[in-house]
């Protein structure tokens, strides 16, 4: 998803800059600002969590997203509170977006050292509502293709009524960090002789065979991009 859009800059540095908000206060050695790593974590996910402040209180909502170059796009109903807030004022809506993958369950000899292996990305920034028709089209295609690559070209585009009911916001990837954990349990030396199993239970993402809709015409075959998922 490296398509260029308005506002993106070609030949970006290989790493995002560190800021006060992207340097963790705990386990800073697990943090990374590598652009390629950040993109890979974002591209592999399906769901993000969008955080913002509403009436003085924090709100976090799960939602779909799509990446195009150095921009994240999120969408929802035009009646959605955060999407309306992103278009109400020129400064936009301050947000925090997170994406996390759990790769393994880490079981230690002590309860305290149990953990998970994970990959995560946190994005801070100002979200703006997308009003340009061409960018909205690109963003909506990216959201569909993020779920299944190639799907936007194999489905009916949104019509005027659907577009009127859909709001899109954009968040530039500028203040970004990744954080990961790998490896086994980190037990205390005095616990190594305890009679408890320690190690990692790997988790993996998998796909079952596609299930056709009951009302699907019998002569419509499963598309190749689903066979290869």
Element (H, E) at 42: helix 35-44
**Bridge partners for 167 per DSSP:** 76
Element (H, E) at 37: helix 35-44
Retrieve residue 16's tokens: 């995002």
Q: Does the structure show a pLDDT above 90 at 84?
A: no
Predicted pLDDT at 1? 46
Q: What is the Cα–Cα distance from 120 to 213, expressed in whole angstroms?
A: 34
Distance, in Å, from the CA atom of 53 to the CA atom of 61, rounded to the nearest integer, reads: 11
Q: Domain spanning 28-205+220-227: which superfamily?
A: Electron Transport, Fmn-binding Protein; Chain A (2.30.110.10)
User: Higher confidence at residue 2 or residue 187?
Assistant: 187
- Which of the four pLDDT bands, split at 50, 70 and 90, describes residue 6? very low
Domain segments of the chain: what residues? Answer: 28-205+220-227
**What does the pLDDT average to over 184-203?**
97
- Give residue 76's pLDDT: 77
Other C-beta atoms closer than 10 Å to the C-beta of 143 total 21
Of 32-46, 56-70, 73-87, 184-198, least confident by mean pLDDT is: 73-87
Spell out the alpha helix ranges (H) of 55-203. Answer: 81-86, 133-147, 160-164
pLDDT at 4 over 80: no
Q: With cut-offs at 50, 70 and 90, classify the pLDDT of residue 27.
A: confident
Q: Report phi then psi at 82, rounded to 5.
A: -65, -35
pLDDT over 70 percentage in the chain: 89
């Amino acid at each position: 998803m490296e398509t260029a859009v308005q506002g993106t800059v070609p030949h970006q540095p290989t790493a995002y800059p560190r800021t006060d908000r992207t340097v963790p206060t705990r386990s800073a050695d697990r943090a990374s600002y590598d652009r390629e790593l950040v993109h890979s974590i974002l591209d592999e996910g399906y769901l993000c969590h969008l955080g913002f402040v509403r009436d003085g209180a924090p709100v976090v909502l799960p939602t779909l997203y799509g990446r195009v170059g150095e921009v994240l796009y999120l969408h929802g109903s035009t009646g959605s509170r955060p999407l309306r807030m992103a278009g109400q004022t020129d400064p936009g809506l301050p947000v925090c977006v997170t994406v996390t993958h759990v790769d393994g369950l880490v079981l230690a000899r002590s309860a305290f050292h149990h953990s998970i292996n994970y990959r995560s990305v946190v994005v801070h920034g100002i979200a703006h509502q997308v009003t340009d028709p061409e960018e909205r089209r690109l963003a909506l295609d990216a959201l569909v293709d993020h779920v299944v690559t190639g799907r936007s070209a194999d489905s009916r585009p949104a019509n005027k009524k659907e577009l009127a009911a859909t709001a899109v916001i954009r968040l530039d990837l500028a203040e970004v960090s990744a954080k990961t954990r790998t490896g086994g349990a980190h037990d205390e030396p005095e616990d190594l002789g305890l009679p408890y199993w320690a190690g990692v239970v790997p988790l993996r993402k998998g796909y079952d065979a596609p299930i056709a809709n009951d009302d699907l015409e019998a002569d419509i075959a499963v598309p190749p991009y689903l066979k290869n998922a």
